[in-house]
Chains A and B, each alone.
Chain A
Amino acid sequence: MMVHLASPREFYAFSLRWSRRIGAVTALLLFVGLYLGLFVAPPDYQQGDSYRIMFVHVPSAWMSLFIYSILAGAGAVALIWRVKVAEVVAAASAPIGAAFTALALATGSIWGKPMWGTFWVWDARLTSELVLLFLYLGYIALDAAIEDRRTASRAAAILALVGVVDLPIIHYSVEWWNTLHQGPTVTKLGAPSIHPSMLAPLLVMALAFTGYYLALMLVRARCELLVRERGSAWVQEIAAADGGTPP
């Protein structure tokens, strides 16, 4: 059903049609989510109001993993079927994913200062999120280092696939490393059953972040596609229709 999107021209039209709509829905969700999170949800009985950073922190952390799996998935499609659009989607996603990872780390340490008394602990989750950031940056660096865009995308796709195999191993090895060395010095929330009044804004925010990613990715992919396909007839048509000089 989505197969026609593999054509760059179709994808361009799709992106043009949907990025605005998704963006509008995202803005609405973000507004609702922030309102619910900042005004409706009650303060936590232990953490007071500072827990509210979770409504940004947790969706960012989810997005960081989600987008890495997109990198790997799109990379696999690009390698196996040589779909140009998949290459472009991966290239457009990587910086967004890196930004979400950095945001998750930053909000985490801002929250950690009042809660744990320190900006950084070598906690297993923090460490594996940091390693994820390094993986993203390595991906971006490799993509930037190779001049030919198609070769760069396919090389980066291999790296993403290797990374996606290694990521669970990194996660569990780090978890083991931490518990073996210093024991649980920082007890996390465990798995408390979160109250619906806090869960609702969290889920709305997660949806909003996903929408933000989709809208931004579509715009970025559209631009990247125009650059990569600048020699093709349909881009020339668009340029001519726009009144610009064909590249």
Chain B
Amino acid sequence: MSRQSGLGRACLGLIRRDLLCVSRHRAEAANPLLFFAMVATIFPIALGPDPKVLAAIGPGAIWASALLSTLLSLEGMFRPDLEDGSIEQLLLCPHPLPVLVLAKVCAHWLATGLPLLLLTPLLALQFGLTMESTTTLLLSLVLGTPALSLLGAVGVALTVGLRGAGLLLALLLLPLYLPILIFATGAGGAVQRGLAPSAHLNMLTALLVLALTLAPIAAAAALRVRG
């Protein structure tokens, strides 16, 4: 019992510490968000401002931007810890490492995924998405971005501290992210064709549950291998 509450305290402490670190480096934390908005702006410029086209590609473009921005922000999950040595404390700590990794992922999502969600309605406005489209897009992001962070944790744990880690991370993760992207944008496509997006959202939920179950274990194993 006491150990359980110890674990809970450790996780909460970890989340609080990570969020505190983020709040002390606000400019750095804002970068992925800025990147998200800028990439989403690239699409209308590259493809032309035709409202019909924009409404059609909107959910896909916003999702692609979210994916790229997540990729850029992932390294922050473990690199500061590697640099200041606190990652070794994590490895030595008596609590199960996968749960601690899950706490780190939570903190990462709160710091990067959540702001992304808050910015999305604004971008949806730029693309001229309907209310229904926007809601589905938000739902798919709510389900999808935590899965991105979870799978990303495995990638970061494998590559953190390597030379060219950022690019390597993208190479490892993009193929693995494909199903999430497919189901998320599939939901948007279904709405635009007047169908219910629930099938896609259900699949997305299933992927999230799967990632929630397995990714922390894989990431913990990767940290132990690299540590």
Instruction: Annotate B148-173 by CB proximity to A: 1 below 8 A, 0 otherwise.
Output: 00010010001100111100100110
Q: Are B168 and A154 in contact (CB under 8 A)?
A: no
**Residues 186-221 of B at the A interface (beta carbon under 8 Å):** 186, 189-190, 203, 207, 210, 214, 218, 221
Chain B residue nearest to A136 in the complex (CB): B175
Instruction: Annotate A153-170 by CB proximity to B: 1 below 8 A, 0 otherwise.
Output: 011001101110110011
Q: How far is the CB of A99 from chain B (nearest CB, A)?
A: 18
Q: How many residues of A contact B (CB 8 A)?
A: 28
Which of B163, B176, B210 contacts A163, CB < 8 Å?
B176
Which of B154, B168, B190 contacts A141, CB < 8 Å?
B168
Report the separation of the CA atoms of residues A158 and B221 in the bound assembly, to the nearest whole angstrom.
8
Is there a chain A Cβ closer than 8 Å to B178's Cβ? yes
Question: If the complex has contacts A165-B214, A180-B189, A181-B189, are A155 and B178 also in contact, measured as CB distance less than 8 A?
Answer: no
Report the separation of the CA atoms of residues A163 and B190 in the bound assembly, to the nearest whole angstrom.
28
Q: Are A166 and B179 in contact (CB under 8 A)?
A: yes
Dominant SS at the A interface? helix
13 A-B contact pairs sorted by A residue (CB < 8 Å): A134-B175, A135-B176, A137-B171, A145-B162, A151-B225, A155-B222, A155-B225, A158-B158, A158-B222, A159-B154, A166-B179, A170-B178, A180-B190
Q: How far is the CB of B144 from chain A (nearest CB, A)?
A: 13
Report the separation of the CA atoms of residues A68 and B145 in the bound assembly, to the nearest whole angstrom.
28
Q: Are A161 and B226 in contact (CB under 8 A)?
A: no
**Chain A contacts to B: CB under 8 angstroms:** 79, 131, 134-135, 137-138, 141-142, 145-146, 151, 154-155, 158-159, 161-163, 165-166, 169-170, 173-174, 176-177, 180-181
Chain A residue nearest to B185 in the complex (CB): A177
Q: How far is the CB of B160 from chain A (nearest CB, A)?
A: 11
Dominant SS at the B interface? helix
Q: How many residues of B contact A (CB 8 A)?
A: 30
- Residue among A154, A158, A170, A181 facing the most chain B CB atoms (10 A cut-off): A158
Question: If the complex has contacts A135-B175, A163-B176, A174-B178, are A158 and B162 also in contact, measured as CB distance less than 8 A?
Answer: no
Chain A residues whose CB sits within 8 angstroms of the CB of B162 once the complex forms: 145-146
Which of A135, A138, A161, A173 contacts B183, CB < 8 Å?
A173
Q: How far is the CB of A163 from chain B (nearest CB, A)?
A: 7
Which of B174, B189, B221, B222 contacts A134, CB < 8 Å?
B174
